[in-house]
Amino acid sequence: MDKDELTRWALANGWQMIAGCPSLTKPSSPKEAIVRMVLKATVVNLEAKKPAGKWERVSGAPYGKIEADPETGLPRGLGFETIPSFSMLMQDNKDRQVFARMTGAPRA
């Protein structure tokens, strides 16, 4: 997967662009990123925000080593498959975006 494919995948799966990086937010604070993908020229790094506010690199890989899972589409090679909390956080973010779109004026 390349930079554009990862960005498209992230935005379709609950991530949002915050400060130029695809990011996941806290359920209680939807404007504050706690996980982000830093897309560089040849590599992508997955970073998590520590409670003190500093970003810590969790994993990283060159684009050539990242491939989409044939069944789920989840990028393999960044650690998503081994850290279940990322999957839960992605689902929470995706659900919040879906429900935010559903709110609106009630039909008469």
What does the pLDDT look like over 46-55, one tens digit per residue? 999 998 889 9
pLDDT of 108: 46
Structure tokens at 64: 């050539």
H or E stretch at 38 = strand 33-39
Banded pLDDT at 99 (limits 50, 70, 90)? confident
Task: Tell me the percentage of the chain whose pLDDT exceeds 70.
Answer: 93
Its domain, for residue 56, covers: 3-101
Tokens read off for 81: 């498959």
Q: Give strand pairing partners of 46.
A: 37, 59
**pTM beyond cutoff 0.85:** no
How far apart CA 90 and CA 13 sit, in angstroms, is 7
In a domain, 95, yes or no: yes
Q: How many domains does the chain have?
A: 1
